[in-house]
Amino acid sequence: MVRFLIRAAIFVVTAALGLLVAMWLLPGFHLEWAGGLVAIVVFAIAQSVLAPFIFNLARKYASAVLGGIGLVSTLVALIIASLFPGGIRVDDFATWILAALVVWLVTALGTWLLPLIFLKKKVTASRA
Q: What is the pTM of this model?
A: 0.80
pLDDT in the model for residue 117 = 75
Distances (CA, A) of 71 to 19, 83, 92, 102: 14, 19, 17, 9
Per-residue pLDDT of the chain (128 residues; tens, 9 = 90+): 677 777 778 888 889 999 999 999 999 999 988 788 888 889 888 888 888 777 777 777 666 666 677 888 899 999 999 998 888 999 999 999 999 999 999 988 887 887 777 766 666 666 66
Contacts (Cβ under 8 Å, ≥6 apart) of 114: 10, 13, 14
How far apart are the C-alpha atoms of 89 and 70, rounded to whole Å? 21
3-state DSSP assignment of residue 90:
strand
